[in-house]
Every structure is written in structure tokens, then in C-alpha cells.
Structure 1
Amino acid sequence: MGKGFIKVQLFSAKNVMPVSGGNIFIIESAAIEFEDGKILTTDECGISKVVTVNTPDRSVGENPASKDVPYSSYDIYIRAKGYRDVAIEGIHIFPDIISIQNVEMIPTKKERVFMEEAEFTFIPPHKLLELTQRNRIEGIKIGSGGCVPLVIPEYVTVHLGAPNSYAENVTLDFLDYIKNVASSEIYPTWPVEAIRANVYAEISFVLNRIQTEWYKNKGYAFDVTNCSAYDQEFVRGRNIYDNISRIVDEVFNECIESKEGKGPILASSCNGISESGSGLSKWGTVVMANNGCDALEILKKYFGDDIRLEKISDVYGLDEQYSGDELKVGSNGKMVEGIQKKLNKISENFTAINKIDIITGEFNNDTYKAVKTFQEIFNIASTGVVNRVTWYKISLIYNNTKKLLDFIEDDEEHNIGVSPEYLLRYGDSGAAVREFQRYLRVVSQYYSVIPQLDVNGEFDLNTKAAVLAFQKKFNNIDVDGIVGKQTWDKIYEVYCDLK
């Protein structure tokens, strides 16, 4: 018998609003007695204390021949005043590992009976336990060629099914996508170099998909699917693991590149037991790591001696890029000043982050404490030093915070809410289109399945995609991409409920 650990974090509006005072009930999925569960409450940063639970022995997850499941399954039920209830069932908890369950909370003004109209998520068995084949992976294997600069995308849009299936798309930031994939495809109890090799392959795979626009060139409105027959396993709403999270933070801006072409390779993989094929063998990485091989040696075995790990300097969507120099006590200048201003804005929601009273551009003790607390909240190594991943995360949370505030302030001036007496569809333009775009833009900040759109008064393809996604999510209305009275009223109802 082993022991694992669970930490729950409740956020809203793309992680910019912590949900404090949330009540969390955790119970083993197979438990019979209700009294066996544990009750937690979130603090002012939306974070629960870490709770210890029973798991299988660690050795189970280190043996590919084992028929036993190497993790315990737990269910989490959440209630917080002013938010919809949430149920997440089947969470995988491994021995000796802290499992981090980030939960996207949806605001509501409606009073409900417990678990009435709850946001429900079921986590399927781990991918390594399944027997499905990765037999439909196609793409450009050596990157896109040419001289297109490599850039880390701000977001990844994932189709929750096979490419041509009728399924939702979900948009999340690049780091969260990689952490989800790695937690879904490998065991966190594996050796560090095996985990690192798999993370490099997963980063390279999705960057290849995005840079070559593999799906968008086929007319799809997403970057990648979560169907492992075609792409990589992704489980919406699943937990991630603290050690995998830290490794992703360390290497998220590196990809596997071949000398044959400029760009990330399509680093395909198989589990190496029930699956076979070209690319990286996941269980094979464990054997090599246990034999003393590092991540690059492992990758060269599967992808050839001519590969290299290429560092990517820029992240798309940031107003200022990381210079490459760590910011710490004693640093000074415009970059420090920018971080101080962003942390002060973020601290308006996350009150545990101390306010930096005087913005001087000097990395003083107040700045050190603010950075350290930010890192603790967002599960980054708590050093008080601004490295690449801390810079990226501060910038992302700041951008989302400012964007949400700007949207709400803008909407206060244009809030009418009355639907027009005619249909709005692709190709239309005008004030009515602009108005429902404003409502839908705010809704997209809380529902990751609804893509963000520009408020331009033009019913363009992005607007149609957002309308279709909204109609799919709220499936009591026709899914046709047309905004009639029923769709308009529902958009406005959801918008008002969120505010």
C-alpha cells in the first residue's frame, strides 16, 4: 500500500479569479461508506490544503507486465457560493505524487439544489491501460521546412474527438495542454529522464501540428484532436502531477528538430507493449532511463542521431518577450518595472500576493515576496526569481485579467439585451452583430469550449464558430450557427448569469 496526495484549486475566468471558501468533498471511487470521504475548503487563493489518500504500491506502475492498475481513483464534488456545482469522477492518484486538480468554476446567480445542473467530468482509465492503436497518425514528419520562425503558441485548440466527429473544441494555454497530455500518456512515477523524453516528444508533436497547420489546411477550426489514433491523448478536466508540471515548466520552449528541415518533428509514439509502430516507445523510455540514459540519448534512439533540441525564444501573444536573463533581487530596469505592475494588477484578485507599494524598477524584497507567492499559487518552483516560465505565466494571467476587466467595462456601456426581429447569420454586419459579439466574448472567458472572437460587427467565420460552440454547449437550442431570438436570448441569459 502506498500514499498519494491531492491538492484542489478553484479558479474562474481563465485562472484569473480565485474561488475562495469552496467546499470540496473527496472520496475513493470504490468507497461504500459516505463517512470515508474527506472535506476541504479553499483559501483566499482558491487552493485547498494537500490531503493524503491511499494508493497502490509504487512498484505497480514501474512494471509493464503488471496487470494491476497503478493508481487509485477518487471522486471530487465541489460547491461554492455564486458558482455552479462541479463533479469530477475517476481522478487518478499515484503513490508519492501530488495530484493537482485545477477546476474551472462557472459563476451563476441561480440557487440550485446540490449537484443540480452540475458541471460533470468523468476521467477515463489511463491511456497506458487501453489497447487502442495509434494507427492513423499522418503529417509532415520533418517539420514545415523553410525559414518560418519558431514561436510557442499562446493557446492550443483541441477537438474532443476524431477529426470529422461532431464534438466540442476546447481552448487552453500551451503549458496546460502539454501538462494534460503528459499526465494522460505516461505515469508520473517513471524516472525523470523518461518523463523528460516523453514531454519533449509531446511538445514537438503539437508544435508540428500547429506550425504546419495540418488540420486548419483541411478546413477544421482546431489545432489538434484528443483522439490518440490521430494525435495525442488529452482528457478535458483531468488532474495533473506536480513533478510532470515542473518538468514541463523547465523545457516547454524546447522541441525536437531534425537537420532535414526547419521546424519541430512529428514525434509520434506508441506504448511499446500493446501498441507497436514507428516513433518513441513509452515503456522503452523507462528501460533506457533506468539504464542511465538521459532524455536526448533516449530520443536519438527513436528519432535518429541527427536530431537536436532547439530552444524557442518567443511566445505568441505577449506584449514583451522574455530577454533570457533571470530577474532577481538586485536586478533593475524596465523589465522589472513591467513585472511589478503586472503583479500588482494580479494581486487585486489574488490578495495573498503582497502589493508592491512603490514601482521603481528595482527588484527589492517586496518584489521577491510577490514573485514567490505567485509561484506558489500557480505551482511553479517557488524561488522568488523570474525565469522564463514565471515570466510567461505572469504575462498570461495579467493579459487574461486585463482582458476580462476591459470586456466587462466595455459591455456596461452597450448593454441592451433585446433581440432584433430578424435572423443574424454568416455574412451579416451591423450594430446587432456587434452587440451579441460583446455578450459572447464575455461568455468565452468562462467557458473554454467557446472560442474567443473580435467585436467588429462582422458575422465572420470566427463569430460563426463561437455561435456554433455556444449552441453545442447549451444543447436546448438548434445548432445551426444562426442567431435567432432563441439563441440571442440564451446568450444574453448566460451573459447576465455570469455577471
Structure 2
Amino acid sequence: MGTPAWPEQALRANIHAQISLAMNRIFTEWYPSRGYTFNITNSTSYDQYYVHGRNIFEVMEKLTDDIFNTYVRRQGTIEPYYTEYCDGKSVTCKGMKQWGTVDRANEGKNALQILKYYYGNDIEIVRTNNLQDIPESYPGSPLRRGDSGTNVRIIQRQLTRIAKDYPFFGNPGTDGVFGAATESTVKAFQKQFSLTVDGVVGRATWYKISYIYVSVKDLAELTSEGEKPSGESNVNGSTYPGTALQVGSTGTGVERIQFWLNALAEFDPALPSISVDGIYGNATANAVRAFQRENGLTVDGVVGPATWEAIAAAYNSLESDIQDQPSGYPGTPLRQGDKGDSVRLLQFYLRMVASNFSSIPTITVDGIFGAATTSAVKAFQKEFGLTQDGVVGPATWQKLYEVYGDVADSLLAPNQRPGTYPGTPLKQGSTGTAVREAQFYLRLLAVYFPTLPTVTIDGIYGPSTTAAVKAFQTMFGLTADGIIGPATWQALYEQAQRLRSSDGLLAAFNLVPWPGFELMMGAEGPSVAFVQFLLRYISYFYDTVQDPGKLDGIFGQSTLDSLHSWQLEFNQPESDTVDEFTWNALEATFLSLAAGVPDSTVPAAAPDYPGYVMAPGSAGGAVSALQQAMNGIAQLYCVADFVPIDGVYGPETTSAVTAFQQGLGLPATGVVDRATWDAIFALLYPPIPEA
């Protein structure tokens, strides 16, 4: 047939989206996991529409032949992205508008730019040569107690991720052995989802696990959390070493690549298992080629920046599902005789640490906690002043993870412990590993304290590092000279360690600042979607507030009606727009509801520390108890202003906390950690002296 009227780049963008959507359905086993016998439908209401043998445009045939093995994915993820699309005229959706792609192409955008316009700037188009018939993931026979292998590990991995949303399921482990813990989790899963509770993973249970796994991760939605790393690769040992790794290379960078590839090989039979020995030989090169081939990279067996990032992202994606904590502590102590992934991870950490500390022997990463691993653990414990029992409990694991991360990111000189003052002050113009270590602590603190600027970990003490140091010194009551002497160094390390501990977890709602412009009828985008979310949440509590309908990011009549109903209920001036005042008022309403209705009475005894840091954006009973305590102190001693007891950590609470910290001689951060919590409640509930 002849040539269609659409520009080529618009056609390419649509083909990419159609391919990716279809591959996402297959990747997530969307239909088999729901009991259907097919993998894709023949309806554009759900997936695609195809009529075999019909006439097609020549240019479409040419373009499809060129890009049939490409797909769209989020950067740092491994699954084909759910590229939802619609025609944009008779049907609307949150994804790509097909007729809109014509306008975008006529504006000069290429296919990738068009896709980024609709799906965000963090997507990429990748090509794969891994083409095969659609496989069935179910192994063919039921899995039960006593089984082991890759299929058991897959189920364990998925159940572990599901358990984050259903914690009462318990932790099945991810060692590839179907033991009592896995059986217990399977039974809990089966009971929850109305399956036969026999602890056996047959076809029905297998695909129900797959279905729930896809659901909790939103892998088949535009809002997918993705198969991706946690976002801390810049500070957890995943940093590219700066030079390509190839046959003949040695060192810790090679060990990391080998360990990551070996872990991935447990789940991917196309990847060969290799030794983790720090020597880049032919076996490592072949494993790298296999990974590159599967992931649409240049197949040269060399680990450059693109291959490094892809391997790190794939490994982090794997770990994000099987670890309950960022450090990966398995939850129970590890000791001689144990086996599995947790032991393998422990051995990898020890091996990396041994590369920097001569007192710690180098061991084999084989997943078996034998005598050599026990000796290495004891050597590590001795080096860092821990109980030398050869058992890896929480304290040993946490210190090991800390040191591993510092070694992997080149923060330490040989045999230098974390937190060791370099001996001479660091100031603008200084360079080296001590500067990198200080920058790491500053960067970590900036995550928790928004007033601290973020710095680059590059080992160069420039103006931005000086500014960050001054801000830190001001916050913690130190001389604000921008120079890291012994006192500033010690404060940096101590504060960073507190925030890396279990008491340093920050609990706050992820509020969004006003976008800087008014939202009105016809507006589209994430800011509108956030307003719709706030209105929907409020409507759950107030029947008089109308639900805005779909959270589609389009400011239509239903959103306006919902806004008007909220304004009427909360005595706000009626307006057709969301300005800064309205935005902030909506957030305040949301926080007050999220916090719950606080108790207006002061408790009879000091409540326990909630176990997390509170900061602007936090809400709930702990914030309410804090506000009550501060008001009680203000009434008793007339030393502070009263704050509203609304369970919301807003500006007035922040100011009051800062004033208390100043009066108590604590760093005036405006953030409540354990020290601030204990000091405030000690004023209201002084300790009873012993007789």
C-alpha cells in the first residue's frame, strides 16, 4: 500500500510503545497468572490488535522489521516498561496520546524524545537479540518441602518481596532450599488468597504468587516501582572505578563485577557461574559477554561505564527484592555451618574489606560458612573492637557493611578505619581519601537535613564542600569556619553513624512543594495528580468532599468539583484555581488526617522513643505526644511558646523543637532524634532518685 500521512518519528515512537507494552504483558505473565491460557489479547482496550494477513503500509513493514527487537525501559530497570497509550481523541489515558505524537514529530522531536515527552526523561530504548518462543515459567511439577534449586529461589524471592506488603507471611529466606520457613510462608500466602493451604507450590499457587508479585511492584503499570536499585549506588560500593575492566585487570572492581554476575547467574541460566577471585580472566570475560548479549549492550567482554551500570542495576534489582534492610542483614545471626545467599554476601563483604586491611584473611565466596570464614570474621571483630566469637550478629554485620561500603567507594587509605581523623585539618584545596570520607558523611547527612547542601564525593575540597561544612558547623553549634578539624570531624562521623543506625530512620510524609504556578482547568501533569491524590484522601474521611475520580493528572470538571467541595467543607474561599495558599492548605488537611485524632491529655509516664527520627513532614501519634510534652513544659516552666497539638510536624513544631534544643545544649537541628526526645521528656518526667 502507499505511504501513510504520519511522520516517521511518530510511527517509530508508536511501534516502540506497542512492542514494549506487549513485552511487559509477557514479562509479567499478566494473563497466565490470572488463569488464562493466552499471553496477549486481540483488543486495543487491553493490549494490542492484530489481524493476520491484512494489508499494511510499506513504511510500517520496513520500520517494524528494523525495530521489532527493541523495547522501552526505565533507566536502571530490567523489565520492559508498561507503555500505556491511547489515541488521545476518542479515548484518553495517562500515557502516550497517539495523535499527539504527530504534533511532537512535527515539532522536530525524534522517537526517543517523543517517548520521553509522555513517559518521562528517565526512559531508554534498548535492543535485544534474546528472541525465543514465549516460555511458561511454571517448572512443570509442584515444589514442596525438601526441594531446592533455581525455581525454589525464584518463589522465595517473590514471596520475600510480597511479604513487605504482607509482613505476617514471615520471611522464607532466599537460599534456594524449600525448608520449614518457606513452607510456612507458602501456607500463609495460600490462606490469604483462598488457595488450598498445603504448603505446596503447584500451578495455581505459582501463578498466584506471580500475580501478587507483579501487583505489589506495579510492574504492569505506569507507576511501576520497577526492577531497579534502591537509589543509593553512589554511596554503597556501586561506583564505576573510572577505567574499563578487561582481561588482565585485577582488584576490587573486578571482584565486585564477578560477585554481581555470580549472583545473577543463580536466577539466569544463560549466565555462567564464575569464581570471585579479583582476576579478570577468560571465564569472567565470557560471563560479561553473556550479560551484554542478554541486555542489548555491545558484546565485547569489556566492562565500561554502560556495562558496569547495567550489571550493578540488575544486581541491585535482585537485592532490592530479597533484602529487608539496605545492609542485607538476614535477621538472624550467621555462624559456622550456615549456608546460602546471606553467607555468600557476608563472604563478599569480608573479601572486599580484606583488600584494605592486612589483618583480615582473604576467603572464598562460596556460600558455605566454614572454618576459614569463621577465622575471617574473628579477625574482623578483633580489628574493629567487637566480641571475637566468629558469629555475625547485627553489630558485626552493621560494622562490616559500613566498612565494606567505605572500602568499595575508596573512602579509606590502606588499614585506615572509618572515622579516623586524618591528623591534619581538611580545608579548601585539600584532596585525597580523607576528603572523600568527609564528603560521604556530608552527603549522607544532607538526606536527613534539607538545610545541608549536597556535595559530590570526588575527593576535592572545593567551594561546595566548604559551604556544606559551614552549614553543618552552624547546625551543630561548631565554629563555622568551613575547616574540618578534630571537633568537626568527630561530629560528622558521630552524626552520620547515628543516622545509619536503626534509631536514625527518618519518618516523614513525602510532601511536594507548590510547583510555582497556579493550576486550573486544562492543566496536566504530576502536580495535578498530586492535588487529585490529596483530594481523594480527604474524601475518604469526609462524605461532603467529592472524590476527584481518576488520578490521571488532568485538571477536568471532576477535579474542579472536588476542589469546590473541599473549599466549602473547610471554609476556604471558593476558587477555580490551586494557588500556593490552596496547595499548602490541602497538604495541611491531608497531614492532619494522616496523623489521626490526637489525644489531648498528657500521658502519665514518658512514652518510649518511637524508633525513628521526626522532621518536618512527619505525622502521627509520636508527633502528638511530643507536642503535648512541649506544651506541658511550657505550662510548668513558662519557658516556651505553645504549639498546636495536631500530630503534624509543621513549622511551629520545628521552631519549638529548635528552641528546646538550644536551651538544652543540643545541636539546634529542628529534628527530633533519640537524644532530643529523651531530653525533652526528661524535663516533664524527671528520673526518680534511688533511695
TM-score of the superposition, structure 2-length normalised?
0.25
Higher helix share: 2
Structure number with greater Rg is 2
Greater length-normalized contact order (CA 8 Å, ≥ 6 residues apart): 1
Taking structure 1 as the reference length, the TM-score comes to: 0.33
